[in-house]
Amino acid sequence: DEIHIYRFMEDCINELRLEYSKQNIIINYNNNINFNTKVIMDSQKIKRVIFNIVQNAIKFMNKDEKVLMIELREEEKINIRIKDNGIGIEKEQLSLIFDKFYRVDEARNTKAGGTGLGLAIAKQIVEAHKGEIWAESVLEEGTSICFTLSKVVNEGESHE
Site residues (vs Mg ion, CB under 5 A): 56, 114, 118
Q: Which of 116, 111, 39, 46 is nearest to 82 (CA)?
A: 46
Task: Output the CA–CA distances (angstroms, integers) from residue 58 to 2, 6, 32, 44, in the order listed.
Answer: 30, 24, 24, 21
Q: Which of 53, 55, 3, 57 is nearest to 33 (CA)?
A: 3
Q: Is 78 in the site for ligand ATP (CB under 6 A)?
A: no
User: Shortest distance, CB of residue 154 to ligand ATP, whole angstroms?
Assistant: 35
User: Shortest distance, CB of residue 142 to Mg ion, whole angstroms?
Assistant: 16
Using DSSP, state whether 107 is helix, strand or coil. Answer: helix
Choosing from 118, 126, 131, 147, the residue that interacts with ligand ATP (CB under 6 A) is 118
The footprint of ligand ATP (CB under 6 A) covers 52, 56-57, 60, 84, 86-87, 89, 97, 102-104, 109, 114-120, 143
